[in-house]
């Protein structure tokens, strides 16, 4: 099956595809093994900040490692956040990065125009959809503000959640999907990204909640599989409800990155084991996604 068929079927039957970020290349083999041993399907992915600010090295290096250790029965390769404007408010040549990923064999890509105006985000995403669909590659867009990667401290979480600041607007989402032709949409309904600054990246994430009523409005408005970024640290009851209300893909980064970083200076093998253990726990306990290969056939 193609990754398009897999994620669409997950959305239709009410299960979720976990997507694991790889900020350090040795994490990949452990993550793939976790998917294999739980008979689950998940995506392996890299975001721009992970080759700029961590040690994923490059789009091509991640693709090469995936060709070495990937297992097409259990996983495919996805390009995560390539922003039009990055977390430091700098313009990014996102077309060049995504073009490189298309050449390297990624089966799905994400363009993040969420820091642009709505019209600019639509135009940027539509451009990438044209490039990617010509190669048979899926596109994920983002609308709304999933915070956490910005420089400086976040406002108090409860203040953010209560205000709905940055939440994806359903009417805008309907227009966005209609005018871009995007395949998947990342939405903001209460989750936050893990901090990436050197000072904060080891800290425990805030326990987030999700506005399920708002998510259901987005599901009805868009008609495409929805994506939840910042998947680590969300209360489980909200995650399970979100899966029933349109979330077909959940991004996981902090849950596997932090165990790796804690142990890698002692032993790469011990760090890889920690990644494996964390990924298995996420699949089995946090997402209840064990055995999904069987369900997605």
Residue reference for tokens 């099956």? 1
* The two structure tokens encoding residue 102: 């298309």
Beta bridge partners, 89, equal none
Residue reference for tokens 């900040």? 49
Beta bridge partners, 234, equal 208
Rounded Cα distance between 140 and 190, Å, is 19
Residues tagged active-site: 80
108 φ, ψ (degrees, to nearest 5): -150, 150
Residue 6 near residue 250 (C-beta atoms within 8 A): no
Beta bridge partners, 186, equal 142, 227
CA-CA distances (angstroms) from residue 18 to 14, 131, 140, 248?
Answer: 13, 26, 15, 8
């Amino acid at each position: 099956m193609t990754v398009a068929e897999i994620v669409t079927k997950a959305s239709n039957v009410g299960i979720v595809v976990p997507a694991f970020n790889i900020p350090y290349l040795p994490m990949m083999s452990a993550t793939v093994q976790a998917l294999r041993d739980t008979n689950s399907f998940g995506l392996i992915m890299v975001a721009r900040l992970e080759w700029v600010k961590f040690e994923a090295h490059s789009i091509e290096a991640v693709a090469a490692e995936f060709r070495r250790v990937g297992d097409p029965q259990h996983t495919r390769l996805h390009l995560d956040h390539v922003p039009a404007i990055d977390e430091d408010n700098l313009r990014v040549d996102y077309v060049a990065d995504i073009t490189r990923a298309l050449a390297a064999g990624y089966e799905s890509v994400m363009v993040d125009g969420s820091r642009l105006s709505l019209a600019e985000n639509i135009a940027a995403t539509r451009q990438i959809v044209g490039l990617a669909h010509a190669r048979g590659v899926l596109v994920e867009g983002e609308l709304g503000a999933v915070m956490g990667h910005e420089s400086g401290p976040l406002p108090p979480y409860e203040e953010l959640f209560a205000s709905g600041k940055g939440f994806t607007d359903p009417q805008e989402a309907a227009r966005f999907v209609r005018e871009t032709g995007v395949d998947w949409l990342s939405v903001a309904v209460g989750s936050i990204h893990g901090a990436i600054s050197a000072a904060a990246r080891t800290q425990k994430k805030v326990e987030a909640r999700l506005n399920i009523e708002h998510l259901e409005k987005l599901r009805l408005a868009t008609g495409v599989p929805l994506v939840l970024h910042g998947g680590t640290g969300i209360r489980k009851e909200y995650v399970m409800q979100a899966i029933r209300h349109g979330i077909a893909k959940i991004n996981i980064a902090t849950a596997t990155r932090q165990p790796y970083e804690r142990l890698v200076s002692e032993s790469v093998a011990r760090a890889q084991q920690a990644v494996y253990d964390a990924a298995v726990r996420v699949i089995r306990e946090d997402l209840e996604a064990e055995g999904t290969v069987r369900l997605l056939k």
